[in-house]
Amino acid sequence: METVQLFAVEMDGIRPLPVADNVASFDQLYEGLDLGVYSALRTFEHNKFLYLEHHIERTRRSMALLGWTEVLDETRLRQGLHEACTQYPQPEARVRFDFLAAPPYHLGTDSRLLIGLMPFMPPPPELYERGVHVGFAPDLARANPLAKTADFAQKRQVYKANADVYEYLLLSPAGEILEGTSTNFYGVLDGVFHTAGTGVLAGITRKIILDLAAGLHIPVSLEPIHVAQIPQLSEAALSGSSRALLPVVQIGDQVVGNGRPGPICQKILAAYNQFVAQEIKTAI
């Protein structure tokens, strides 16, 4: 069975759609479609999800922000996700569901609701042990930060991770660090855990991380870190559904803190892993 899969969520269930040869990313999988809004997440224990209801609600909000009046059928989506992930041949899957701007008739369906699956490989443990380096994407910006639109996923393709740079950060016109191309960003300044409160995508993992930090009595601020403050940071990190909380030890040419993952981010990551074990559940 193929490990890169695409399904249309139709009235009577999911229907497999053709997948081109050598597809290695969701961007390639959805190439040629009238892109709309989407959410991407991972499975746990093969067919379980973390905070799926929040991913669905954010998709609804994204549709509303675009002025769309169509209704996202949550029941059919949940059933489709459960069926697709349960039959998936790999231990875990990277999952993306899209509500397209127009039906993909050329694929033989009139459904605008699609589910894509690819093998999920978590970041290697050594990245959490030693941290990652990040750079900047100075000419990249979200037109509507609160709407998770698939066209932005296409635009960010020019910023590809490599052996030296794991992720790229978006900046405000004033030089504030907003987020990564596919992550949220955090910096620890004078013991306070900072992340941008506006002008960023409301990441689902970000919500969990901030709730956990508050529960651990770690001071939290929604004031973004300015690039001029990078030398004063003691820690930094990225979050995302496939990464949890990943420590950052260098931003551009500047080493963060002592160049090693710090205690605050490590404490939050441990709490996050405990939270996942307690909260994951199937789609139906």
Q: How far apart are the first and last CA of the chain?
A: 24
Q: CB neighbours (10 Å) of residue 173? A: 6
- Please indicate whether the domains covering 5-119 and 125-279 agree at the CATH topology level: no
Domain locations along the chain: 5-119, 125-279
pLDDT string in tens for the chain (284-residue length): 689 999 999 999 999 999 998 899 998 999 899 999 999 999 999 999 999 999 999 999 999 999 999 999 999 999 999 999 999 999 999 999 999 999 999 999 999 999 999 999 999 999 999 999 999 998 887 777 777 877 766 677 666 766 689 999 999 999 999 999 889 999 999 999 999 999 998 899 999 999 999 999 999 999 999 999 999 999 999 999 999 999 999 999 999 999 999 999 999 999 999 999 999 999 99
**Of 237, 41, 204, 209, residue with least CA distance to 134:** 237
Q: Which fold has domain 125-279?
A: D-amino Acid Aminotransferase; Chain A, domain 2 (3.20.10)
For residue 277, how far is the Cα from the chain centroid?
Answer: 19
**What is the CATH architecture of 5-119?**
2-Layer Sandwich (3.30)
Count of CA atoms in the C-beta half-sphere (13 A) of 187: 27
